[in-house]
Structure 1
Amino acid sequence: MHHSLFSKPLALIWAAIIIACGIILFRRDLFVASDAAHRYVASITKAPAAPFPQAAPSLVSLDTIQNRTLGFEKIFVVSLPSRTDRRDGMVLQAGLSDMAIEFIDGLQNSQISEPSIPKADDGSFLQDQGLGAWRAHMNAIQEVVRRNLSTAFIMEDDGDWDIRFKGQLQHVAQATRALVQPLASDSTSYADATFPRRPHGHAPVPDIMFDSLPETLPPQHSPYGDGWDVLWIGHCGQSFPKDDNQVLSRGRVIQNNDSTVPKKQHLESPFNQPFTLSDDYPDHTRAVHHSQQGICSAGYGVTQSGARQLLLELGLKEVTQPFDLLLRRFCDGTAGRGKHTCITTQPSLINVHRPRGHLASESDIGNAAEGFRAVGETKMIRISTRLNAAALLYGEEPKDQYPDE
């Protein structure tokens, strides 16, 4: 009697162990495809060697850019709730890139109360569908301030990036530090003689070469450096600061032989001419510099200080242009927006993805186009995450859109 009472619970224990093992094996198999994608990207994305000794890993180390928020506190994606197709695509991309994102709802014009829109002296304000996009971006920026985030990255839901995105960002962070951090040898000086205030005159400013970056003081707040307001890395075009602009610093970091940059024949600059990066530099060159004449707001980082300034300058002053052109004014220091520090990179690290399908579905702002796109595309992104989603999921070789010939 005693023996039979003992064996029954023992059998139940063994049954529970077997079931638990089965669940563990099932969950492991469930994530094999995703893990394989992450391993593949890691195998071809090596962390860049720092040009000077780095401190132990910390919250401001270059290593933190490999985390799920790219070294920022949060990643926000502006997206209309009705565009479930774009949200599906963005969630898939983020998963394949091991990124954690949070959606900020996009808005239609009809959802915005007219009295809440800052107007010009004559009562005019932005009238087209860009008004909803402006308010959605402002809501994302407002959230950065409300949560008191030290930094955040804000994207639009049709963006795409290279599968080597995190490695690219580490390079950008090294370059940004060279532009905005004080020199280690003299904490009152910078590698860029025109930063933080540009002297009068048009004396040439030598390029700062990525392969021989100067040693700077380590940042205290962000792996991208401490002295910036906006890190505008997703755009449709940028210009190097012009000689006749007496506000913007002119330093630029030049990285030669960047294998993630397509050859010049594949680069485009439809809105910014002359296209100095293509005209004056060799193939596979990346530049990091202060922003001028930026257009399109595909992706940008903000600091807490920068977000507060954006709320003032873009949220509380007249809204007579789309958000990206207001951001341009903010960065260029024009139209009474004051001086701010906006760093950018050419070519853009995030570009608009055009999916396969009817062209009328591509934009919620511009005029609907007619026709059908048979093959999806993302311009100037060599190994596109979106275009290689199936390859990454199923362990196939990703395709380079712009292989060297």
Structure 2
Amino acid sequence: MAAMMTPGSPVRLVPGPRRRSSNLVILLLVIIALLWSLVFHQNIGRGLHVTLDDIRDPLDAIVNNTLGFEKIFAISPAQRLDRRDAVVLASSATGFHVDFIDGLILDEDSAKELNDSKDSETVSVSRPHANAVQRIVADGIASALILEDDVDWDINLKMQLKGLALGSQQIPKINAPERNATTDSPYGDSWDVLWIGHCGMKCNSSSPVQVMPHDITAMPSRYLPPYLYDAPAGTGNNVRMTCIIEKAACSAAYAITYGASQKILAALTRLTDADNLDFPDLLSELCDNGSLECYSSYPSLVGRWKRGRREEYSSDNDQEAVDRQMSHSSGVMYSTLGNIEHILGGECTVRASIDDAIVPELNPDLFEVPHSFLQWTDKKGGHERAL
């Protein structure tokens, strides 16, 4: 019942429930602002400045124009302008910058002058990789991604590398949970080598494994090119795994740190004239003997681009024979070079490289890092933890 008021009585305003709630909200916001201001000024007094870097996702560095490394190098003979064109085109479409290191094309006489005891093919393939390593050490480069010039990669490479970074950050913490990061690298501070382009790898038996059970960019095993090592246990269609590796084969793409480059260069200087070890074997050996801590992903993140051959065809040639001569990607689901016309044409979607892909057409803007978890075994048994 409303209160009775007589003329001359003082007016008494009683706030209703809604006004009281509004006042409480305002009071709460004021208290929060005061507390935040107090903490902020205390941090400044202690030299702990609050900046955008404090709230930025560390994985965001991977989307820069060097994919979170200091440099990206592509090894390519100066004569192979076609391959250089392809690397520049694909990297521009994906959003990163590549510098070239000259590869070698040796005739028999040149190879003989260089070293009579070494196979000319081994020299021409391996020496440019050694030159890239030498460049990293000479210039004091903190980390670099090294590509061969016939590679192709998924248009979603940056998101794939974010997924890899989650693994390379968290895997070493299983055995050393108190370990604190001491580097600005989005890939963590434990790695020496990130072997992202290979033709087979073998996980270290004691390594925790990062599993992405539903990665639509992981090429099913039946479509992969021949790998020199068996697939890790638990892999299957659209399953991706990351682990510390013992061995790997082929050097299509790998990232190395400055410290790793020094160790690789030291190993190269110890080779004798009788050694005929090619570069991927040397790098794999350093991973296997514990000199380097090496991480890799299965399937390989980087594949190959098979350039077509122009030939005259008679009417007797069937379509299958013609198709085999066309340029195509190998080991990559949403090929950058295979989709280059769609990308340059401004289309929103790209096409899968295989007919029975789970997602035949994909909008890369909608692709996110797939859910993943860690698996490992210790004296207490098997464990699993979501990332």
Give the TM-score, by structure 2 length: 0.69
Deviation at 1:382, TM superposition (A): 0.8
Q: Which residue of 1 aligns with 2:64?
A: 67
CA distance in 2, matches of 1:134, 1:95: 27
Rg larger in structure: 2
Q: Which residue of 1 aligns with 2:6?
A: none
CA distance in 2, matches of 1:331, 1:270: 18
Change over 3 Å in CA distance of 1:145–1:128 after alignment to 2:
same
Deviation at 1:115, TM superposition (A): 8.2
Q: Which residue of 2 aligns with 1:368?
A: none
Q: Which residue of 1 aligns with 2:237?
A: 283
Q: Which residue of 1 aligns with 2:55?
A: 56
Aligned with 1:400 (options 330, 336, 352): 352
Q: Which residue of 2 aligns with 1:332?
A: 288
CA distance in 2, matches of 1:158, 1:261: 20
CA distance in 2, matches of 1:354, 1:135: 23
1:381 aligns to what SS in structure 2? Answer: coil
1:291 aligns to what SS in structure 2? Answer: strand
Q: Which residue of 2 aligns with 1:108?
A: 105
Letter in 2 for 1:272: Y
Q: Residues 181 and 219 of structure 1 are in contact (CA less than 8 Å); yes or no, is this contact kept in structure 2?
A: no
- Equivalence map 1:13-162=2 (5 Å): 55-57=54-56, 61-109=58-106, 125-162=117-154
CA distance in 2, matches of 1:390, 1:325: 37
Q: Which residue of 2 aligns with 1:259?
A: 216
> Taking every aligned residue pair, what percent have the same amino acid on both sides?
31
Q: Which residue of 2 aligns with 1:343?
A: 295
1:172 aligns to what SS in structure 2? Answer: helix
Q: Which runs of 5+ in 2 are unaligned?
A: 1-52, 312-321, 360-387
Change over 3 Å in CA distance of 1:113–1:276 after alignment to 2:
closer
Aligned with 1:296 (options 223, 246, 250): 250
1:134 aligns to what SS in structure 2? Answer: helix
CA distance in 1, matches of 2:141, 2:80: 27
Q: Which runs of 5+ in 1 are unaligned?
A: 1-53, 118-123, 188-216, 243-248, 360-370
Q: Residues 73 and 152 of structure 1 are in contact (CA less than 8 Å); yes or no, is this contact kept in structure 2?
A: yes
Change over 3 Å in CA distance of 1:259–1:104 after alignment to 2:
same
Choose between structure 1 and 2 for higher RCO, CA contacts under 8 A separated by at least 6 residues.
Answer: 1
Give CA-to-partner distance per residue, 1:39-94, whole Å, 9 cap, x none: xxxxxxxxxxxxxxx95338xx2100000000000000000000010001111001
Q: Which residue of 2 aligns with 1:238?
A: 201
Change over 3 Å in CA distance of 1:349–1:219 after alignment to 2:
farther
Q: Residues 152 and 302 of structure 1 are in contact (CA less than 8 Å); yes or no, is this contact kept in structure 2?
A: yes
Aligned with 2:327 (options 376, 384, 391): 376
Letter in 1 for 2:95: D
1:276 aligns to what SS in structure 2? Answer: coil
Question: Is residue 166 from structure 1 mapped to residue 158 from structure 2 by the alignment?
Answer: yes
Deviation at 1:228, TM superposition (A): 1.6
Question: Is residue 226 from structure 1 mapped to residue 189 from structure 2 by the alignment?
Answer: yes
Deviation at 1:347, TM superposition (A): 0.6
- Equivalence map 1:205-220=2 (5 Å): 217-220=180-183
CA distance in 2, matches of 1:144, 1:294: 22
1:301 aligns to what SS in structure 2? Answer: strand
Give the TM-score, by structure 1 length: 0.66
